[in-house]
Amino acid sequence: MAIEPFVEIHSLLDELKALAQISEEEPPVVTRVVFSAADLRARAYVQSLCESTWLTVRQDAIGNMLARWHGTEPDLAPVGTGSHIDAIPNAGMYDGTVGVLGGLEAIRSLQRAGFHPRRSIELVIFTSEEPTLFGIGCLGSRMMGNVLTLAAALKLRDKQDHGLDELRSQARFTGALESVALPPGYFHQFVELHIEQGPLLEQEGIDLGLVTHIAAPASLRVTIEGEGGHAGGRLMPGRKDALAAAAELILALESAAKSSGAIDTVATVGVCEVFPGAVNSIPSRVNLETDIRDTDGARRNRVIDALHAACSDVSARRGVTVTTELVNADPPATCDTAILAAMEASAQEAGRSFKRMVSRAYHDSLFMARIAPVAMLFIPCRRGWSHRPDEYASPEWIAAGVDVLARTLAKLAG
């Protein structure tokens, strides 16, 4: 017999609203930067909710919170769920929080149904999914997934030049940072509920997105050094115009992404700084910042290779010096077929429409994928708006997501 979870959507909405009140700015604006007073108050609120649900709560050395509902076979690896509660400045109330408070409500709805999981179910509240403080996203899950080395973590600094170690101690998170990394196999499976942050589900009138792939960005900085000079005095033969060279590289990158053979390949040059930046001066230096994403790591790397080849070619033909620096290249994740099957069966049981889709933004699940099979469950959000105060998901959408998450967790935890 299938479990029939009983979701109390009104108390969940009250909790989402109460959490949204905990902000560094006047509601409805949600600003909750990691380790700020608001972030610490929000954590305390969520912790109290978890404890009143009889979950065992622990916090690791970086502030990731893990709240466990013990299964009848507590030695088995737990099934994980969760997301984040930190918010960028001027954000809304659903990004991340739907996966945290919705995850908690999924657990409670199973408790109300009299369900006893065989495996423990562990709710995770990740530290600093947003890059606001340290310039790097998914700090907590990167460290849990052992993606970010300890040396790299210790180099992180905020804009006032305070180090991670100092800031986490001020927030009273102590203990060895080495202990944050979880061993592969710690989680049996991990599933994250999240708003789509795109418009497709709402446009198509579909209740749920079953995420099959999480795309991941690679970012490269490209510096082109040419030769400056007077825009009138210097004739065209023999010029080494850094911006003209950069223009070729931008188009080469665009063409490499367009000809990858897959719609999921995207490449963007979002920053182009020109020196000295005067109308009557030949550009001597250009800095480009590129973002290259795909759901397939090898295909994305071929675009990066094409960019490198274009750099060598342009450098040789134009006599400019081109250097590249790989800022980051997180591997994309392919979601687990067993979790997808459980989500699909759960959506059918609940009478909810669904489609399989790609997450083009990245999430904590991308890094949990390094140590566990993962999948994500998307609910619609109005017009795809996110990271703004008018971000909105309807009670019906949230209730459907929590219901199907609960059914999924019941299947996975057995």
Residue 201 beta carbon to Zn ion: minimum distance, rounded to whole angstroms: 16
> Please, which residue, 95 or 241, has the CB nearer to Zn ion?
95
> Please, which residue, 285 or 293, has the CB nearer to Zn ion?
293
> Please, which residue, 320 or 377, has the CB nearer to Zn ion?
377
Q: In the 8-state DSSP scheme, what is residue 77?
A: P
Nearest to 190 by CA among 376, 401, 379, 403: 376
> Please, which residue, 95 or 122, has the CB nearer to Zn ion?
95
Residue 91 beta carbon to Zn ion: minimum distance, rounded to whole angstroms: 9
Residue 363 beta carbon to Zn ion: minimum distance, rounded to whole angstroms: 6
> Please, which residue, 96 or 140, has the CB nearer to Zn ion?
96
> Please, which residue, 60 or 95, has the CB nearer to Zn ion?
95
CA Rg value for the chain: 24
Residue 97 beta carbon to Zn ion: minimum distance, rounded to whole angstroms: 9
Structural tokens at position 334: 């392919």
> Please, which residue, 96 or 226, has the CB nearer to Zn ion?
96
User: In angstroms, what CA-CA distances link 367 with 60, 176, 362, 363?
Assistant: 17, 20, 9, 8
- Closest-by-Cβ residue to Zn ion is 96
Residue 129 beta carbon to Zn ion: minimum distance, rounded to whole angstroms: 5
> Please, which residue, 283 or 389, has the CB nearer to Zn ion?
389
- The contact pattern for Zn ion, residues 57-96, with x = CB under 5 A and - = no contact, is --------------------------------------xx
CA dihedral 165, 170, 173, 175 (to 10 degrees): 50
Nearest to 229 by CA among 242, 216, 220: 242
Rounded Cα gap, residues 408 and 170, in angstroms: 38
The tokens 């997808």 sit on which residue? 340
Instruction: Characterize the bridge pairing of strands 208-214 and 229-230.
Output: unpaired
Residue count, binding to Zn ion (CB under 5 A): 2
Whether the Cβ atoms of residue 6 and residue 14 lie closer than 8 Å to each other: no
Backbone angles phi, psi at 195, to 5 degrees: -70, 150
User: In angstroms, what CA-CA distances link 338 with 188, 341, 344?
Assistant: 11, 5, 10
Whether the Cβ atoms of residue 98 and residue 208 lie closer than 8 Å to each other: no
> Please, which residue, 71 or 82, has the CB nearer to Zn ion?
82
Indicate whether 401 belongs to the interface with Zn ion (CB under 5 A): no
Residue 156 beta carbon to Zn ion: minimum distance, rounded to whole angstroms: 20
CA dihedral 85, 86, 87, 93 (to 10 degrees): 20
Residue 95 beta carbon to Zn ion: minimum distance, rounded to whole angstroms: 4
Q: Hey, how many other C-beta atoms are within 10 angstroms of the C-beta on 387?
A: 16
- The contact pattern for Zn ion, residues 89-118, with x = CB under 5 A and - = no contact, is ------xx----------------------
Structural tokens at position 363: 């999430």
Burial class (CB in 10 A: 0-12, 13-18, 19+), 314: buried
Rounded Cα gap, residues 168 and 93, in angstroms: 24
Q: Hey, how many other C-beta atoms are within 10 angstroms of the C-beta on 11?
A: 12
Whether the Cβ atoms of residue 191 and residue 405 lie closer than 8 Å to each other: yes
> Please, which residue, 256 or 405, has the CB nearer to Zn ion?
405
Residue 372 beta carbon to Zn ion: minimum distance, rounded to whole angstroms: 19
Residue 103 beta carbon to Zn ion: minimum distance, rounded to whole angstroms: 13
Residue 87 beta carbon to Zn ion: minimum distance, rounded to whole angstroms: 9
Rounded Cα gap, residues 80 and 59, in angstroms: 15
For residues 275-314, which are near Zn ion according to CB under 5 A? none
The residues that touch Zn ion, with contacts defined as CB under 5 A, are 95-96
